[in-house]
Homo-oligomer: A and B are copies of this chain.
Amino acid sequence: MKSQKIPEATIIRLSVYSRYLKQLEKNGLITVSSGTIAEGVDGSPAQVRKDLAYFGEFGTRGVGYNVSDLNRYITKILGIDNKWNVIIVGAGNLGSALSQYKGFDERGFNVLALFDNDPEIVGKKAGKIPVFSAPRMTSFIKENNVEIGIIAVPAPFAQDIVDEMVGAGIKAILNFAPRVISVPDYVELRNVDLAVNMEVLTFNMTFQK
């Protein structure tokens, strides 16, 4: 693999390939071609091969890819060949729902705890996940080697929580609060903006096509 900038779109697709390969593996498939993968993820064969080519040669010409090997390579590339410790801040509807999300655990993300300010819910549990009081967050992050934080608090509080997380040594943040957040450039940040997604839909409905 050459040292090169990898397009984010490639990473997103790799993640989808991986999910699809897992399905194929469960169905007992041994070998798969770029064409079949492309069909399964609604992409093109050339794109699949190009995406993989950023990282090495994983296939056999004339044959295709070994399903479980390829999936192992991809999970390694994505950094999910081992577990990650995660906390969620904001134990409202969204935060608790995320804490119960099966897809996280399946992919190696361990949600260790929720944090909230509301004394009504602090001390309770969401499923098996405990809700702690917000001021305990920093020490919890340090003591438990938490690498990833999820922001599920109302927009006005988001930046403060993020700053505290960064101060405590968190390396990556997934932000659900509908606000632009700033972090130092050694911290990874992604925004999942639900209303924005809806608005892309309505734009496309109204204008294009």
Using a CB–CB cutoff of 8 Å, the interface residues on chain A facing chain B are 5-6, 8, 11-12, 14-16, 18-20, 40-42, 77-80, 84, 86, 93-94, 96-98, 100-104, 106-107, 109, 147-148, 154, 171-174, 178-180, 182, 185-186, 188, 190, 192-209
Contacts and interface: CB of A to CB of B under 8 A. Distances in A.
A35 to B, nearest CB: 15
Contacts of A79: 199, 202-203, 205-207
Nearest to A126: B93
Given A6-B207, A15-B200, 20 more contacts: A6-B208, A12-B200, A14-B203, A15-B195, A19-B178, A42-B180, A77-B207, A78-B203, A79-B202, A84-B198, A93-B101, A94-B97, A106-B195, A107-B198, A171-B205, A188-B205, A190-B197, A190-B200, A190-B201, A192-B194
Contact of A194 (B101, B201, B207): B101
A196 B11 CA distance: 9
11 contacts: A11-B200, A11-B204, A15-B195, A20-B180, A42-B180, A93-B101, A94-B97, A103-B194, A107-B199, A185-B209, A192-B194
A195 B6 contact: no
A192 B195 contact: no
| Residue from A14, A19, A77, A93 having most chain B Cβ neighbours under 10 A | A93
B12 A178 contact: no
B204 A172 contact: yes
B42 A147 contact: no
Contacts of A103: 178, 194-195
A172 B209 CA distance: 13
A30 to B, nearest CB: 22
A98 B200 CA distance: 17
A199 B148 contact: no
